[in-house]
Chains A and B, each alone.
Chain A
Amino acid sequence: MFVNLKRKDRLLRDLPLYFMLLPAVVLVAIFSYGSMAGVIIAFQKFVPAKGLFGDQQWVGFQNFVTLFSVPNIGLVIRNTVIIALFKMIAGVIVPVVFALLLNEVRSMLTKRIFQTVVYLPHFLSWVILSGVLINLLSPSEGIVNIFLSKLGMEQIFFLGDPDVFPATMVVSDIWKAFGFGSVIYLAALTSIDPSLYEAAVIDGANRWRQTWHITLPGISSIIVLMSVLGLANILNGGFDQIYNMYSPVVYSTGDILDTFVFRLGIEQAQYSLSTAAGLFKSGVSLIFIVGSYYLADKFTGYRVF
């Protein structure tokens, strides 16, 4: 609509737009880009008293060398990837299955009630949900274990047994997220052309065949998209959840990169080492995020902006 303007006129015309962007640019520059510049801490022997960009002693990659010689670091990375991977896989399958089953419910009212109930945990913080789960799963007083013992089964230490803890994290994460995760698939299901089903019925296809040949292909691009975007979380074990439910007893299977970074940085004040660990996580994550966006664009034409 506006073309062929001289450079000066164009600047004048765009001036209000620059002013609109100014506050956000300043704040993002300080808090996001300032922090990004702050990753230099990872290459220094950081002393807080000298200031963030003060005259610190440079140590090159020494902190990374120290970091990867910490005895538990391999375990922490392994825990992170295992927990994140199971959350990613279950985080696609469970919502898809739930959406397909819910789609078979014909009564709109029943459907709404189911949706209202299963979306609820999504909107609550992990602090509250951890409180709820601890209340529920506690070995002696929680109703789950009381129920188990009434059935004559042994108690399960959901949050205190290193063998069970990761499974508890994955299942409770699905519990929080699956309902709302199904929204996107339900939306995709409603956009499938009903005449396809009519044609299938005339051809004599039963419900299973209709699901297999029409419904699943109809939502397959969304399934691919969500799986690919999920890859970006390969190193996100879920700090909010695990930090509020773990304890030293389950560090061997439950300690993830983010909780490790937190304990190192905030509790032990090992600023440089913690920043190095965080930078390692961000670096690997960056590759996965960019890769997942690239694949999403390639397979489904999805773009963030």
Chain B
Amino acid sequence: MKIKTSIPRKIFIVCNTVFLLIIALACIAPFINLLAVSFSDKTAVAAGEVTFFPVGFTTVSYEFITNTSKFFVSLLVSLKRTAIGVPVNLLLIILTAYPLSKSTKDFRARSIFSWFFVVTILFNAGLIPTYMVVRNTGLIDSIWSLVLPGALPVFSMLVVMNYMRSLPKELLEAAYIDGASHVQTLLRVVLPVCTPTIATVMLFSVVDHWNSWFDGMIYMNHIQNYPLQTYLQTVVVNPEEFMRNNTDLGGNLSKYLSMVSARTTGAAQMFLAMIPILIIYPYLQKYFTTGLVMGSVKE
């Protein structure tokens, strides 16, 4: 296709590119400002001098955080919940998606079980009943309260199930004729061809576990059990309190308080919490896109 580029077209292309550049800048600028604030001197920040470059460059905010234990304690909780939660999610997704991917002819109870899981998307019990059940199971203050209630992400399971259903019938028939059991078929035939989908839902799970904060807030009574995002929430909502309550600094506290402010240390912690997402970002972009398209546009 050959298009003559007319003058109005050229004007449009220039305007369009400039417009998109402004939009893109609006998306990224807040984070650059945050990064600049975290590396700036507190008086410059308070005076509003910091835009996109640090003013009075200093790493003292990061030093302050490394010297206080709370950030790292909650970081460990987050790493632990992700390390436990993601494999649990994946195991249950696979174990559920495989039977439900069978046709009703091959697995009579399929329909009942499908509805059993889908109903949980349709109706939400609400905050208090959910909280009461978790409390009744005795999981309060345990890492499992962050893992078990959402152990089966139903949407992810449906994505994997739909993918399994789209596999060629011949593949499964061949396995059956060769005498493979269900477990063998799942492990040797189905799973190896499902790796792209599994990767997608795994990233869904990782992001979900990393970003969840509300469950930590209501199921954990002690701050040392807070996952990172829950702890950060307390910093965001009440920054001054975070500054005052750093008892483990002892005599150094007043020295630090003269150099850092709630804003600079808050910015530094925010940025540190973003790093894991930034590291896996290229994969997220690749697999989330395919996952979203798979889950939404079906032939």
Give me the interface of A with B, judged by CB distance under 8 Å.
1-3, 10, 14, 16-18, 20-21, 23-25, 27-28, 30-39, 41, 48, 51-52, 98, 101-102, 104-105, 110, 113-121, 123-125, 127-128, 130-136, 140-143, 146, 175, 179-180, 183-184, 187-188, 194, 197-198, 201, 207, 222, 225, 239-240, 244, 261-262, 265-266, 271, 274-275, 278-279, 281-282, 285-286, 289-290, 302-305
Contacts and interface: CB of A to CB of B under 8 A. Distances in A.
B248 to A, nearest CB: 23
B240 interface: no
A6 to B, nearest CB: 13
A132 B31 contact: yes
B96 A31 contact: no
Given A31-B148, A39-B126, A179 B136 contact: no
Contact of A16 (B37, B96, B121, B183): B183
A131 B281 CA distance: 20
B160 to A, nearest CB: 11
Nearest to B261: A141
Contacts of B125: 32, 35-36, 38-39, 278, 282
Nearest to A195: B1
Interface in B147-164: 148-152, 157-158, 161-162
Given A131-B232, A143-B51, A27 B126 contact: no
Interface residues of B, number: 106
Contacts of B162: 305
Contacts of A271: 128, 132
A32 B298 contact: no
A278 B109 CA distance: 32
Q: Is chain B's interface secondary structure helix, strand, loop, or mixed overall?
A: helix
Contacts of B207: 123
Interface string B221-260: 0000000010011011100000000000000000000000
Interface of B: 1, 3, 9, 12-13, 16-17, 19-20, 23-24, 26-28, 30-31, 33-34, 37, 45-46, 48, 50-51, 91-92, 95-96, 98-100, 102, 105-109, 113-114, 116-118, 120-134, 136-137, 148-152, 157-158, 161-162, 169, 172-173, 176, 181-183, 186, 207, 210-214, 218, 229, 232-233, 235-237, 263, 266-267, 270, 273-274, 277, 281, 284-285, 288-289, 292-293, 296-298
A41 B128 contact: yes
A242 B122 CA distance: 23
Q: Is chain A's interface secondary structure helix, strand, loop, or mixed overall?
A: helix
B50 A17 contact: no
A127 B23 contact: no
30 contacts: A3-B105, A24-B92, A24-B95, A25-B116, A27-B92, A31-B134, A31-B151, A35-B126, A38-B133, A51-B136, A52-B133, A115-B285, A118-B24, A125-B212, A128-B270, A133-B30, A134-B236, A135-B34, A143-B50, A184-B297, A187-B297, A207-B9, A240-B213, A265-B127, A271-B128, A282-B125, A282-B126, A285-B124, A290-B122, A302-B298
B100 to A, nearest CB: 8
A127 B148 contact: no
B274 A128 contact: yes
A261 B28 contact: no
Given A51-B136, A305-B114, A131 B151 contact: no
Given A104-B16, A303-B298, 11 more contacts: A21-B113, A32-B120, A35-B126, A38-B133, A101-B16, A128-B270, A132-B34, A239-B214, A274-B126, A282-B126, A305-B161
